[in-house]
Structure 1
Amino acid sequence: MHTDSLITTPLTPGFLRGALDVERTAHGLLPHRLPAWARAQNTDGQLAMAESQPSGVRLAFLTRATTVELDVLPTKRVYTGAPPRPDGVYELLVDGRPVGQATAEGGHTLTVDMTAGTFAFTQGAPATLRFSGLPAGPKEVQIWLPHNETTELVALRADAPAEPAPAPDRPVWLHHGSSISHGSDAAGPTSTWPALAASLSGVELVNLGLGGSALLDPFVARTLRDTPADLISVKIGINLVNTDVMRLRAFTPAVHGFLDTIREGHPSTPLLVISPILCPIHEDTPGPSLPDLSALAEGRIRFAAAGDPAERAAGKLTLGVIRDELARIVAQRAADDPHLHYLDGRGLYGEADAVELPLPDALHPDAATHRRMGERFAALAFGPDAAFAPGTARA
């Protein structure tokens, strides 16, 4: 229940960073990470769910308030036969420093049956988040929304006026990838590996990591083309294997087309192509990835590779095949594109890491691995002489 003495500030798109579109719903504002025209070209429910989950999206406002309330309407996922997922985390920062966390009870529920491939939606009610004891005086407040829960923003209240914060004067890093870039099992929205790398490197993140949906879709390429950015990275591979949607014959021209489209809007922006991190089940075995039914029977989610290594001869993709081809494509193009770079994803998570920090469900990194990947990416991509070294950013 909110406090009557607090001041209600109408929420507008100007309060949001990291969203490419904002939909006004019956309840409030729904951030999107793909524009409306791109969403209209999509027919896949997985992508629709992923792009509406606000990974990297945050409210940013100036205020003297010491108490802030935010009414939200989340959509939570429930997987049939698996333990309940933890509620999404909202993180509040004051002048860039973490101050508080909260979770929202209730909300809508999306029940996913992975064995049947079905979705069921149940409506719920909004919840109120309250952050109190904030430092006195003028400050910038950010509230990072859960990276893995669709979140409608209903109302903002505080004990002092609030206004949208101006855009920061730092490079914008635009990143696209799979559920690993989306955040998978990170501890919270500021500790997904892209968010952590951005914080360590002093850049402004726009995260187009789309769980299960990094599939070289042309409308995603056009979105990257049309989005203002100083630095761009694309992490390509794992979803093409675990959905088994493409063969090598189609993969190579699709990658060229994806990069060509990005270059139409960003002809000289530093562009980093990142190959997949290590994923032992798909290094040499094609997809698709399917739920491990024995694990589901034990109440656990785990995946297994359903392909046959012999199918590589017919052009089926594995992570090893994709890494080799991406390295070749980038080397070929870099002869005429000095701002194009390649990073082997095993530099972020490789064989030694898999021994120390195995992927819990055989596909997705845990919270500790996200932190390691973020720290490594900051060093490998933003360090001296790296693709995104200070001074390399250009519009």
Structure 2
Amino acid sequence: MRAIPLADDLFYGAVSLEHIDGGIKPWRIPYRDLALFLPNGIDSKAEICAGVRLRLRTDSTSVIIMFAPLEEAARMDCTVDGALHSTVALLKGDSAAPFTMLPGEMADLEIFLPQNTGMTIIGLRVMSCAEFAFFPDQRPKWVTYGSSITQCVDARSPSYTWPAIASRRSQFNLTCLGFSGNCHLEPTVARMIRDLPADFISLCVGINVYGAATLSPRTFKPALIGMLETIREKHSHTPLLVISPIYAPDRETTENKLGFTLIAMREEISQTVALMQNRGDRRIFYLDGLELLGLADADHLPDGLHPDASGYELMADRFVDRGINALRDKGIFL
């Protein structure tokens, strides 16, 4: 096999790329500003590779991705011409993922890095006689922000998170900013989203604010307005979809320590979007999280909060139909 020199052009879905001793580490924040994303890089979630992919075009029958030893077990996926070809299950300490029995003719490969851990890529190998080229992602850019329910650790594999499925079906170049336990409408995150190139932005907000009681009924709506207004500074016409929490049986009517329920939080989010619309924003929209996963889908919530693998796939189907396609029906996307 022969080594392919690593290059930034291989990576998609990362906000920044750190070059470390011959390797490349993807980050979902600007890594040079790590100190600003408290605590410790959004509680260490910013280095997790949710949504990050390697894209290449090759006729190699085998491709090997090499990386620094994993800190925990994970999975990686390889799609060929947009369809899942294989999943490699990795153990803690593993440092290579072989994808074999590939077509052997020129094909577009997208290799999804794990959605539950960070990874520093240190090598890429193809068969000695194989052709190789970078595979640019020229699809419209979609930035999605949220919690663990957007990061999707319990999806069956990294290409089967709901954002990954939805982006594949709807032909978007995904940047996933799902930060488990850490979707708190921070100003630094708002500024980061503002500064990212995007043709579509979605924000799934509220569940972590409820769980950690980080914002009260007094401060939640102003914080959300602040995030939306910050994003609009550079994305004044970008379609912006704001999503409220999916169903969570123990949180619907139970007040947290600041007096919030999910029912009240959904109303606050809906009212905020309506306020922005009434001020003239014609490209901001609201999607009730219950449209993605509601009371009738409670069997897909084994812990009463996080969807199971089938639940994430159901969310993807509904997000495409009730989110993206609904906007397309309005003429929002070309």
Of the three residues 178, 181, 186, the one matched with 2:150 is 181
**Against the structure 1 CA distance between its residues 149 and 382, is the aligned structure 2 distance closer, same or farther, given a 3 Å change threshold?**
same
- Cα distance in 1, alignment partners of residues 255 and 34 from structure 2: 29
Counterpart of 1:157? 125
**Against the structure 1 CA distance between its residues 27 and 94, is the aligned structure 2 distance closer, same or farther, given a 3 Å change threshold?**
same
Of the three residues 201, 206, 216, the one matched with 1:232 is 201
Counterpart of 1:167? 137
The 3-state SS of whatever aligns with 1:224 is helix
Counterpart of 1:205? 174
- Cα distance in 2, alignment partners of residues 127 and 105 from structure 1: 9
Does 1:71 pair with 2:66?
yes
1:389: Cα distance to partner?
4.4
Aligned partner letter, 1:12: A
Counterpart of 1:373? 315
The 3-state SS of whatever aligns with 2:46 is helix
Counterpart of 2:283? 339
- Cα distance in 2, alignment partners of residues 101 and 155 from structure 1: 19
1:48: Cα distance to partner?
4.0
Q: What does residue range 347-386 of structure 1 map to in structure 2 within 5 Å? A: 347-354=291-298, 356-357=299-300, 359-383=301-325, 386=326
Q: Is the 8 A contact 1:242 1:286 kept in 2?
A: no
Consecutive unaligned residues in structure 1, runs of 5 or more: 1-5, 78-86, 108-125, 288-306
Aligned partner letter, 1:186: A
Counterpart of 2:106? 138
Q: Is the 8 A contact 1:281 1:362 kept in 2?
A: yes
Q: Is the 8 A contact 2:87 2:157 kept in 1?
A: no
**Against the structure 1 CA distance between its residues 27 and 37, is the aligned structure 2 distance closer, same or farther, given a 3 Å change threshold?**
closer
1:163: Cα distance to partner?
2.9
Calculate the aligned-residue CA RMSD, in Å.
1.8
The 3-state SS of whatever aligns with 1:276 is coil
Aligned partner letter, 1:163: A
**Against the structure 1 CA distance between its residues 245 and 360, is the aligned structure 2 distance closer, same or farther, given a 3 Å change threshold?**
same
Q: Percent identity?
A: 36
Counterpart of 1:327? 270
- Cα distance in 2, alignment partners of residues 167 and 274 from structure 1: 26
Aligned partner letter, 2:182: S
Q: Deviations over 1:213-247 (max 9, x none)?
A: 11001111111111111111101100001111111
Q: Is the 8 A contact 2:183 2:209 kept in 1?
A: yes
**Against the structure 1 CA distance between its residues 239 and 182, is the aligned structure 2 distance closer, same or farther, given a 3 Å change threshold?**
same
TM-score, length-normalised on structure 2?
0.94
Name the stretch that deviates more: 325-334 or 20-29.
20-29
- Cα distance in 1, alignment partners of residues 249 and 40 from structure 2: 28
Aligned partner letter, 2:324: F
Of the three residues 15, 18, 22, the one matched with 2:17 is 22
1:206: Cα distance to partner?
1.1
1:152: Cα distance to partner?
1.3
Q: Deviations over 1:108-144 (max 9, x none)?
A: xxxxxxxxxxxxxxxxxx5222112111221211110
- Cα distance in 2, alignment partners of residues 376 and 351 from structure 1: 15
Q: Is the 8 A contact 2:70 2:95 kept in 1?
A: no
Q: What does residue range 1-395 of structure 1 map to in structure 2 within 5 Å? A: 6-26=1-21, 28-45=23-40, 47-77=42-72, 87-107=73-93, 127-159=95-127, 160-168=130-138, 170-287=139-256, 307=257, 312=259, 317-335=260-278, 336-354=280-298, 356-357=299-300, 359-383=301-325, 386-389=326-329, 391-393=331-333
**Against the structure 1 CA distance between its residues 225 and 74, is the aligned structure 2 distance closer, same or farther, given a 3 Å change threshold?**
farther
Q: Is the 8 A contact 2:140 2:199 kept in 1?
A: yes
Structure 1 runs, 4 residues or longer, greater than 3 Å off: 74-77, 388-391
- Cα distance in 1, alignment partners of residues 176 and 228 from structure 2: 18
Q: Is the 8 A contact 1:46 1:213 kept in 2?
A: no
- Cα distance in 1, alignment partners of residues 7 and 331 from structure 2: 34
Higher gyration radius (CA): 1
Aligned partner letter, 2:254: T
